[in-house]
Amino acid sequence: MKRIVYKDKHEKIVKEIKMPVNQYFSEPDNIMGKYKTQEIYVHKELARFTIFIDPQEGHTKILNKADLQGVIIDIGQREQPGEFRHEKLFQYDRNKDLKTIFNTVFDNQNNVVVSSFTDDIENEIPYWNGTSKYYYDKSIRANDSLFECHYDDHGKLIPITVDVEELSLGDQDSIWIYNDVDGIKALMNVFNMPKVLAEFYVSSEIIPKITSPDDR
């Protein structure tokens, strides 16, 4: 049985995990409130290594570490645009070639607001069929998003329907949301949503432009 021990800065053991020897992974090290590394082992061999670094740090040093040769490496960067958390994950194959970039945006309750990836490494243009956006209001629905958005090959919103009656948000049964002025107004009226956030959901933007409570 593999034993993983976490210690705080005073070398005091704060967590201990036991994993099967054939496959295990270390949990995110969030002892100090910061996700640092994750290791995934298969048949006692390190198969995947994930590390979050400062956005200004380069990737070369990590990719060249001797004990990471032949291992899939994910290098993550975190930024905090206002009330949201943006995580960008650069995924390298065993030959250390960058293959995919994942973008995930979380709200201040740790809900996934955006999930998107791209194979266009040079321009970082999202693969729109692999992009989803989600809207939450825990006072209306506790454990799920109220609606989600998907996009066509050009980043244009695929029209969505919102079940207004189910959500007890009005007299009509449902509304359709398009990527136009009427769609923005509908989101603002039904969900009491600020215009900048409504524009974000119908648009092809990955990062919400809201940076402070005043933007609402």
The pLDDT of residue 27 is: 46
Q: Render pLDDT for 157-175 as a digit per residue (tens, 0 to 9).
A: 999 888 776 666 666 677 7
Q: What is the DSSP secondary structure assignment for residue 68, as one 8-state letter?
A: G
Q: Render pLDDT for 181-200 as a digit per residue (tens, 0 to 9).
A: 988 988 888 888 889 999 99
Residues of the chain with pLDDT under 50: 1, 20-34, 213
The pLDDT of residue 30 is: 43
SS3 state of residue 88: strand
Q: What is the DSSP secondary structure assignment for residue 146, as one 8-state letter?
A: S
The pLDDT of residue 55 is: 81
Indicate whether this model's pTM tops 0.85.
no
Contact 161, 174 (CB under 8 A): yes
Name every residue whose Cβ is closer than 8 Å to that of residue 37 and which is 6 or more positions away in sequence: 26, 28, 29, 49, 50, 51, 52
The pLDDT of residue 171 is: 65
The pLDDT of residue 159 is: 92
Give the H/E segment covering residue 186: helix 181-191
